[in-house]
Amino acid sequence: MSLARGTKLQQYEILAPLGVGGMGEVYRARDTRLKRQVAIKILPESWTQNPSAVERFIREARAASALNHPNIITIFDIGQSHNLHFMATELVDGHTLRDHLKRARLQLSETLEIAIQIAYALTAAHAAGIVHRDIKPENIMLRKDGYVKVLDFGLAKLTERETRTAADATATLLKAATNPGTILGTAYYMSPEQARGLEVDARSDIFSFAIVVYEMVAGMQPFSGATTSDVIAALLQTEPPPLSQCVADCPAELAWSVGKALQKDRDERYQTIKSLLGDLKRLKQRLEFEAELARVNSSSHSALNEATNAASGTKTLAEEQVTLIFPPKNLPTTNTARAATRKTRLRKAIDSLAVLPLVNASRDPNAEYLSDGLTECIINSLSKLPKLRVVPRSTVFRYKGSDADPQEIGRELGVRAVFAGRVLQHGDSLIIKTELIDIAQDSHLWGEQYRRKMTDIFSLQEEIAEDISEKLRLKLSGEEKKRLVKRYTENTDAYKVYLKGRYFVTTKRTEAWIKRGIEQFQQAIDLDPNYALAYSGLADAYAFLASSTGGWSPREAYPKARAAALKALAIDEALGEAHSSLGFYYLLYEWNFAEAEREFKRAIELSPHYPHAHDGYGFYLKAVGRHQEAMRECLMIQQLDPLSPFAHVSLGWAYYFARQDDLAVAQCKKALAMEPHSAFAYWILGLTYLQQGRVESAISALSKAVTFSDSGLAFEAHLGFAYAVAGKRAEAEEVLADLQENAAQRYVSAYYFAIVYLGLSNQDEAVKWLEKAYEERSGFLPFLKVDPIVDALRALPPFTKLLRRVGLET
């Protein structure tokens, strides 16, 4: 039965047919009550006499409406009118994946983007206990704005409530094999267990999803036949050609992942869609990284060096970094190859590791510093080994308190192994239970329980680090073994308060917590005046207070940071962290760019996997206008710290300074996808929008930066600039008044006033306040050479003179 235009179903007015699906006809309609267009799905009239069909139709609405996800179609309503059962859903402005596949072969980047969004939808559904059971290109819609929507949960079931028996399902399937169209699901996209009529779970969706990905990549389905019976026979008995045979340039990782997901034995597949999603995201990240690196290199000034390196057979630093982060992967396609690969891996060292935050099993908040501190110290010890990539603290601590599976975390981070454990403090005794997991082998490598007195904490930490390196099959030189067990103090009390200092400074970077950290570091130094790490921690704490958002005057804080860093290096010249701290001092306070570069390079030489050192070197490169090198350094940070939104912000900043606005916006949006409340991401996004002339968008972004920074004055000042550019003079002057009110109570950088006056086109006042910022040693001034926001001042002689005084012009 076809519905004519103008037919009314309750408040819905039919406008035009959209198509016919297995569960009924679909129409475009108008919701006359809410004044919006919707899609109406109608159950075939011939089915209304079938209670099970009606139940399935209602089940689709119930299952899908329970899911609130951007990649799953939204259910608005379900009802009955004129003996018709219908469902009202959002109207997707786009076309099905099937239509898309008919038009042209997809590019790999497009395939991965679509696949990842489908996997996100299934992850949400499976987390809610819902299995789709009919994943196919017809049930996937591609919106014009790039969003993917998964449709038709008509075959979905609540996994804990399904009572249909395997025998019933088998009977249905046998009947369907001779009556195409009534089969439960679509034969080409069924899992083997579904084709057999067995009980299905989320792993069935993983198989169907893999078929869709296979088809997107290869341009053909992996299982085919002239009849439904032939398709099912192929599905149950034959192995499809590997994707690498179908498509010459198919990444090996993708071929392996699809092959694993298409294992006929569901115990051999990915056990969760989230694990598969993690591998797809990592592959997409690698390809984007390589494309970004190629783009940066193509516009670099180092063509001669590249040619020289190529002639000598030497890899560039950037190429070595790609190899380091994304080592070649042995990807089995047959049982023989899989066995050979396992033997090879047994002999090879594991070259990447994530040390997950040790769990505070004591449940005592006062002991939290101990579990966190031990984690950080193990990370720092292992990071000294040049052959081992250790995921930094800033990334792994995002998993603190998470009940996520270590296997999934390892896949998401792209490491070969994960170390996890629990710490129990009982009086003066410590009990630490640990395990080491081989992600590539899906196996338990090693586990141990340690019992020690608190006075033995140093030997305990060393023993754990040595055991981990041994189980990772790392061959260490004598010098590397010394680095691994190096002690910075023999005083256990000093060590305990040092751990507390790191806990306060790194957990919350608020002024109050940083001050508490400084107190602990100072106490550690009082207990052991030769404790280099405590001095280095003190240097970082004062530098945080002196930063653009720290709230302390640079003249008050930075000299203290310098003194602490120099003391740390006087005790231990090989402490990379202290060299990094000193580099920030030279860059942001003393404006000694040559010394800053030397210190950052020395820090990277000593601690090649320390993101903070690479970040500092990247900021130096931005300040002096070496844009291509800055971009490459920022890309390195992203690979070292893959879950850090600030790594994307940092690259966005590099693009902003290089006047590559579209690329800057893209990086900020990636940061916001990882951390929706990132004040720094909204900050750089707003500044970039200003350069693009998108003033209202800039005001919106900068307003969010102010909100999410808890009214940070640096962000507020740039919002005032945006107000002024938009002609909202009253709002800009209100920002000035707020800055003045704050300045009466605490330090407020003169640079903030200069920026607002610049927006108000008062260049004389802007220059005057920049001169005051010079006297204050503002950390913003090293970037005056490259910052587009001060372009209006560049022709003024006082500004040129200021650049020379800062050291940016000769």
Which are the catalytic amino acids? 134
- Which of 759, 784, 744, 386 lies closest to 588 in space, CA to CA? 784
Write out the two tokens for 211: 């078929």
**CB-based burial of residue 653 (10 Å sphere; 0-12 exposed, 13-18 middle, 19+ buried)?**
buried
Give the C-alpha distances (Å, rounded to integers) separating 396 from 19, 402, 672.
Answer: 48, 11, 19
Within 13 Å of residue 365, how many CA atoms lie on the same side as its CB? 1
Phi, psi dihedrals of residue 391, rounded to the nearest 5°: -65, 130
- Which of 377, 567, 570 lies closest to 486 in space, CA to CA? 377
Phi, psi dihedrals of residue 154, rounded to the nearest 5°: -65, -25
Residue 551, Ramachandran bin (φ over 0: left; ψ between -120 and 50: alpha; else beta): left
Coil, strand or helix at 484: helix
Measured CA to CA, the distance from residue 241 to residue 218 in angstroms comes to 10
Write out the two tokens for 460: 């305990």
Measured CA to CA, the distance from residue 578 to residue 589 in angstroms comes to 16
Beta-carbon contacts of residue 165 (< 8 Å; ≥ 6 apart): none
Write out the two tokens for 510: 């608020």
SS3 labels along 589-642: HHCCHHHHHHHHHHHHHHCCCCHHHHHHHHHHHHHCCCHHHHHHHHHHHHHHCC
Phi, psi dihedrals of residue 366, rounded to the nearest 5°: -70, -15
Q: How many residues does the chain have?
A: 810
Write out the two tokens for 745: 């109570």
Q: At what angle do helices 228-237 and 166-177 cross, to 10 degrees?
A: 130
Q: What angle do CA 233, 235, 239 make, to 5 degrees?
A: 110
Measured CA to CA, the distance from residue 191 to residue 394 in angstroms comes to 40
Q: How far apart are the first and last CA of the chain?
A: 82
Write out the two tokens for 273: 């869609």
Residue pointed to by tokens 């109570």: 745
- Which of 613, 643, 614 lies closest to 631 in space, CA to CA? 614
The helix (run of H) or strand (run of E) holding residue 382 is helix 368-383
The amino acid at 596 = A
Measured CA to CA, the distance from residue 598 to residue 565 in angstroms comes to 15
Residues 663/670, Cβ–Cβ less than 8 Å:
no
Radius of gyration of the chain (CA): 30
**CB-based burial of residue 332 (10 Å sphere; 0-12 exposed, 13-18 middle, 19+ buried)?**
middle
- Which of 194, 282, 290, 270 lies closest to 235 in space, CA to CA? 194
Residues 41/29, Cβ–Cβ less than 8 Å:
no
Measured CA to CA, the distance from residue 526 to residue 518 in angstroms comes to 12
Write out the two tokens for 771: 């001169």
Residues 448/420, Cβ–Cβ less than 8 Å:
no
| DSSP states of 313-371 | TPPPHHHHHHHHHS-------SHHHHHHHHHHHHHSPP-EEEEPPPEETT--GGGHHHH
Coil, strand or helix at 497: helix
Is the sign of the CA dihedral 39, 40, 46, 50 positive or negative? positive
